[in-house]
Amino acid sequence: MTVVEHEGRIVVVDTGLMFPTAEMLGIDLVLPDFSMLRERAEDIEAIVLTHGHEDHVGALPYVLREIGMPPKIYGGLLTIGMVRSKLDEHKLRDVPLEELPAGERVELGPFGLELIHMSHSIPDARAVALSTDVGTVLITGDYKFDQTPVDGIPADVSRLAELGREGLLCLCADSTNADRPGVAPSESAVGPALLEVFGRCEGRIVVTSFASNIHRVQQAIDAAAHLDRKVALVGRSMRKNFNIADNLGIADAPDGIFIQPKEIEDHPDDKVVVISTGSQGEPLSALRRMANNDHRDVELHSGDTVIFSATPIPGNERSVNETIDRIFQIGASVVTAADAPIHASGHGWQEEMKLMLNLTKPRYVFPFHGDHKRLRLHAELAEAVGIERDRIFIGRNGLTLEIDEKGARFGEDFRAGVIFVDGVSVGEPDEFALRDRRKLSDDGVFIVVATISADDGSQVADPEIIFRGVPFGDEGEPDGLREELAEVVAETLEELAEDKVQELALIQEDLHDDVAEFVHEKLRRRPLVLPVVVEV
């Protein structure tokens, strides 16, 4: 999420989210902290969306709820179509959504807005040009310079060059693949590779990719049609996104090629292609459920070939490998991008990033969208094409870049934390709650119920001790553990009664510390310890 401010007015570019890491137990989504937008809601002229990926639009429903009266939202045709569907799911209607064709300009207070067509792994990707009386800022969004895109519409290089000739004030550009030399493979090269792999398969084919990669799904459908195979789209987001693209005329499928997932078993194995979600090993995805023999309609078996037409996002490698291993256990075959050229990145490589810099000739460069390593590498590329080091700014979340007639400099540092979506709850992260969840996941929980006299705090009944999820090992629960724990509880309560401590909070605190210390000494583990004290 990027905020551009001029003369007290604001344009927000993208409202993305992150997916939780393995350590964020119980967390569904991670949103940016948009408290600044809540406080300045009346100053927002518009929200502009570069494309329809979740890391660029996923937080929009939550942002709109926070800021109240929604501003106008601009984007490309498919982006607006996908966002409209998302907002409907969140029961957010009457939101002013407007498709802005590439090349057209609208005035937004002190800003002029123009969207520029770019190539990416989803159709209708756009760069955002915001012009002011100080100069023009270009936010590239995610992009690559694909010379043979599937839809036949390459990035608008001429308009980018025109911005360079006019004098671009600042380039805020994608840094995702700043560590990869050369040029990214064309998306259209994936189609022939998929067809070649399909042609070698004698049984059922299951292809998994990102549901939003409409061009990839289209090429898989085309390959299936060429081999006279029926296609089943499996996974809610896969069906939804393709239907949106199809209704908008962005995707196209031959008449009669689709079958319902429940109809797969009615067709010969060598006449079916399943296109499924789950390329990242997501726990609840369609492919993961197939691998676990838990899918309602698709049961993998020997003779199937599962094609991963995507590479793991950093951090997802373990989940993907676990899914692949389960597929092998079932007896099916697996093909990945390491075996055939069946994936192409949607982000440009180093030579494409240099081309962007040379086309736009910015006065200032502000590398975006990458970890610090890739921001640094992007900055080095900018230096390599002749941009002076003091005109390149490597920032971080929350740190503003101020530009005026006198020059550019880092300015105010805003809070840039995260907000967790935990079921139906949306709020700031509670590190203690996450810590407890990690403990539960690793070492289980000990629950100790102690009963004391309301008169003097003495123990009046044997404690109840409950274990859940404690990894005792092959030997099971150690002999005498419960009896020893009962002695620890009795000793603690006796000492507290002698000291005339009767505040329940203090009693629970001492019980927690003594039980936790004993368990660690005994088991060399640190489970969550929950003492419960009952007065009678």
Instruction: Provide CB contacts within 8 A for 365, sequence distance 6+.
Output: 170, 171, 173, 357, 378, 379, 382, 387, 391, 392, 393
Model confidence at 220: pLDDT above 80: yes
- Are 434 and 25 a contacting pair, CB within 8 Å? yes
pLDDT score recorded for residue 32: 84
Report the domain count for the chain. 3
294 plus 410 within the same structural domain: no
Please give the pLDDT value at position 21.
62
pLDDT of residue 438: 57
Q: What is the pLDDT of residue 25?
A: 54
Tell the residue number behind the tokens 């390329």, with chain if given. Answer: 279
Contact 17/23 with Cβ under 8 angstroms?
no
Per DSSP, the residues of 212-268 read T-HHHHHHHHHHHHHTT-EEEEESHHHHHHHHHHHHTTS----TT-B--GGGGGGS-
* CB of 30 closer than 8 Å to CB of 36: no
- Written as one letter, the residue type at 35 is S
- For residue 517, what pLDDT band results from cuts at 50, 70 and 90? confident
In a domain, 127, yes or no: yes
Same domain flag for 169 and 191: no
φ/ψ of 40, rounded to 5, equals -115, 30
User: Which phi and psi angles does 118 have, rounded to 5°?
Assistant: -130, 165
Q: Are residues 434 and 404 in the same domain?
A: no
Domain termination site, one of 381, 397, 425? 425
**Average pLDDT for residues 3-10, to the nearest whole number?**
96
Last residue of a domain, one of 335, 357, 382: 335
Same domain flag for 468 and 512: yes
Residues 406 and 494 grouped into a single domain: no
User: How does residue 432 score in pLDDT terms, banded at 50, 70 and 90?
Assistant: very low
Contact 3, 37 (CB under 8 A): yes
**37: in domain:** yes
Contact 108, 11 (CB under 8 A): yes
Whether residue 179 is found in the same domain as residue 237: no
161, exposed or middle or buried, with CB in 10 Å at 0-12, 13-18, 19+? middle
Q: Which residues pair with 18 in a beta bridge?
A: 30
Does residue 477 belong to any structural domain of this protein? yes
Residue 80 lies in a domain: no
Provide mean pLDDT across the span 109-113.
98
Q: Which of 295, 313, 335 is the last residue of a domain?
A: 335
Q: What is the pTM of this model?
A: 0.80
Count CB neighbours of 390 within 10 A. Answer: 9
d(CA 118, CA 145): 8
> Which domain range does residue 511 map to?
430-535
Place of tokens 């000291």: 499
DSSP for 328-376 reads HHHT-EEE-TTTSS----SS--HHHHHHHHHHH--SEE--BSS-HHHHH
pLDDT tens for each residue of 86-106: 999 888 988 999 999 999 999
* 328/370 same-domain check: no
Q: Which helix H or strand E contains 486, and what residues bound it?
A: helix 481-498
Q: Are 377 and 175 in contact (CB under 8 A)?
A: yes
Active site positions, annotated: 174, 347
443, pLDDT greater than 90? no
pLDDT of residue 211: 93
Residues 396 and 290 reside in one and the same domain: no
Residue 440 has pLDDT above 70, yes or no: no
Q: Which range (80-84, 121-125, 138-142, 486-490) has the least confidence?
A: 486-490
Could you tell me what percent of the chain has a pLDDT over 70? 93
pLDDT at 68 over 90: no
**Residue 194: pLDDT above 70?**
yes
DSSP readout, 369-394? SS-HHHHHHHHHHHHHTT--GGGB--
